[in-house]
Amino acid sequence: MKLIDSMAYSSSEEMMFGFAKYPVTTRSGLVIGGGAVIPEVVTHPRPGKEHDLKTLARELERANTDAMQRCVSIGHPSIVIENEHVFQMTNNPEWGAEISAQSAHKISDFKQKYGLNAAYRSTIADIRKPDMINLRDSERTEKVLESFKNCAKTADILSIESLGGKEVFDYSIIRNDITGLLFSQAVLGGRDMQWLWPQIVEIANENGCVPGGDTDCAQANTAMFMAGGFDAKDIPHTLAALSRAIGASRTLVAYECGALGPGKDCAYENPIIKAIAGIPISTEGKSSACAHSDLCGNVIAAVCDLWSNEAVQYQNMFGGSSAAVFTEILGYDTAAMNSSIMLGFEKQYQACLVNSDRYRDPQAFILCPDNAWAIGKAITDNADSLYARGRAAAIKCGELILADPELRLTTIEKKSLLAYMAEMETLPEDEDNFIDFCLNKYRKVKGFNPAAYGL
């Protein structure tokens, strides 16, 4: 498979929220990345509601309806609604299909009744647990593909959070092992996506549905969560930053296979992806605090096209249901961003978003548009192999961090980063040699089955 070797944007100066080089139009008529930021609301059923289809469908119907109704109340012109499949929705492909159909139907109701512009993203659950089954050949794999086929009929956008490489990643992150990260994210994750995504794209195209994108949530976000805040002392933030950069080399594969965007919200590496591929992206930050904490709450909006809340459990708050409440929050966030575009202040607004977090943490630093672009460039300049570009991304990321004295690091963070850089220097140049080395080093990691990656 040919890896991308050129940048969609010639500099980060060209990158702005609301605008993508290659906007996407959904079958429901919503244009994403075409000049405005649109909120993406993600609702989640309460525990216990998944035990049968009827209950689950009713729960999500209520949540998604609440979201759309709030748009109408407040005056938000457009919205993307996403449901990430709970296990049962993918494991019983007819469930996911039913809910997708129901949601698409609701969207068209609201369109007719109020003129609300909406689209539905169905994110299939990757139930192929690497440590349980062969990723490429199992009943679960079949179910995943069947779910795609079903949901493609009615959803506007298809996505997945693929798990390839997770078993080796989990083993490596806790051992502070950068080599393991490169292997699990860039190589294994990338290879699994190279196998999976062409099939998704084909299914989407056959059904007039948009193949959206993927995310390195299973790996880079795990690193981010484990790194925690300033008061946590477990995983260095610099390692999480490197993991993020490597993650970009993995997530990019979807687009090389024909995915069109919008990229998945939890892919914090999306700014890097957008710089390379020009596709519209969904991001999440301060308004996804309901789901998790991060250190780049504002900067991550700098080049977004969809602005998401990641996931909120459907429950009551003083201001209404959580679905409605977060729709309102995201809607106002995007209204402000779109106002800045209208008034011609978008550059300044973007600068404010970036300034808020640029020096807050290395993870935020590397996602600033200029640094994200630089990492993207390193990826496209090293398109020889998945490994080569993953490594190049990590090295570039480290160099950027070390080069700016205004980005302060604690002694431990700096020491750790230097150690990772030094270790990466010693790794083989050639992907085949690297893979051989890793196949030996990680051969006994539980659940790691090289055949599942075609190795």
List, in sequence order, every residue forming a beta bridge with 38; answer none if it has no partner.
306
Say if residues 273 and 248 touch (Cβ distance below 8 Å).
yes
Q: Does 214 bind other proteins (CB under 8 A)?
A: no
Q: Does 174 bind other proteins (CB under 8 A)?
A: yes
Binder of other proteins out of 74, 132, 342, 351 (CB under 8 A): 351
Indicate the angle between helix axes 190-207 and 139-152, nearest 10 degrees.
Answer: 40
Q: Does 175 bind other proteins (CB under 8 A)?
A: yes
d(CA 455, CA 445): 15
Backbone angles phi, psi at 319, to 5 degrees: -90, 10
Residues 92-151, interacting with other proteins (CB under 8 A): none
Backbone angles phi, psi at 57, to 5 degrees: -60, -40
Q: Does 402 bind other proteins (CB under 8 A)?
A: no
What one-letter code names the amino acid at 208? Answer: G
Binder of other proteins out of 114, 230, 315, 433 (CB under 8 A): 230
Sole window of 57-65, 111-119, 169-177, 196-204 interacting with other proteins (rule: CB under 8 A): 169-177
* Residue number with CB closer to other proteins (32 or 296): 296
Q: Does 355 bind other proteins (CB under 8 A)?
A: yes
Say if residues 309 and 22 touch (Cβ distance below 8 Å).
no
Q: Tell me the two tokens of residue 199.
A: 């099939």
Binder of other proteins out of 2, 406, 425, 426 (CB under 8 A): 406
Q: How far is CA 368 from CA 142, 266, 373, 410, in A?
A: 39, 16, 8, 21
Binder of other proteins out of 356, 380, 382, 416 (CB under 8 A): 356
CB of 375 to other proteins, least distance (A): 16
Binding mask 71-90 for other proteins (x = CB under 8 A): --------------------
Sole window of 87-95, 134-142, 225-233, 430-438 interacting with other proteins (rule: CB under 8 A): 225-233
Q: Does 290 bind other proteins (CB under 8 A)?
A: no
CB of 361 to other proteins, least distance (A): 8
Sole window of 92-100, 106-114, 286-294, 349-357 interacting with other proteins (rule: CB under 8 A): 349-357
In 10 A of CB 382, how many CB atoms?
20
Burial of 212 (C-beta count, 10 Å sphere; 0-12/13-18/19+): buried
* Residue number with CB closer to other proteins (59 or 357): 357
Sole window of 74-82, 122-130, 353-361, 384-392 interacting with other proteins (rule: CB under 8 A): 353-361
Sole window of 35-43, 95-103, 248-256, 406-414 interacting with other proteins (rule: CB under 8 A): 406-414
Place of tokens 């309901």: 290
Cβ contacts of residue 231 below 8 Å, gap of 6+?
A: none
Q: How far is CA 426 from CA 178, 391, 420, 434, 443, in A?
A: 12, 11, 10, 11, 20
Q: Does 234 bind other proteins (CB under 8 A)?
A: yes
Residues 26-65, interacting with other proteins (CB under 8 A): none
d(CA 2, CA 11): 23
Sole window of 14-22, 174-182, 274-282, 337-345 interacting with other proteins (rule: CB under 8 A): 174-182
Angle at 168 between CA 165 and CA 169, to 5 degrees: 80
Q: Residue 268 has what DSSP assignment?
A: T
The answer to whether the peptide bond before residue 271 is cis (omega within 30 degrees of 0) is no
CB of 351 to other proteins, least distance (A): 6
CB of 365 to other proteins, least distance (A): 11
Q: Does 425 bind other proteins (CB under 8 A)?
A: no
Percentage helix, strand, coil, to 5, in the chain?
A: 55, 10, 35
* Residue number with CB closer to other proteins (296 or 424): 296
Binder of other proteins out of 34, 360, 419, 437 (CB under 8 A): 360
Start-to-end C-alpha separation, the chain: 16
Sole window of 185-193, 196-204, 227-235, 241-249 interacting with other proteins (rule: CB under 8 A): 227-235
Say if residues 162 and 192 touch (Cβ distance below 8 Å).
yes
Q: Does 22 bind other proteins (CB under 8 A)?
A: no
Q: Residue 295 has what DSSP assignment?
A: S
Q: Does 2 bind other proteins (CB under 8 A)?
A: no
Binding mask 324-343 for other proteins (x = CB under 8 A): --------------------
In 10 A of CB 426, how many CB atoms?
7
Sole window of 100-108, 140-148, 264-272, 354-362 interacting with other proteins (rule: CB under 8 A): 354-362
d(CA 374, CA 50): 44
Q: In the complex, which residues of this chain contact other proteins (CB under 8 A)?
A: 170-171, 174-176, 226, 230-231, 234, 351, 354-360, 368, 370, 406, 408, 410-411, 444-446
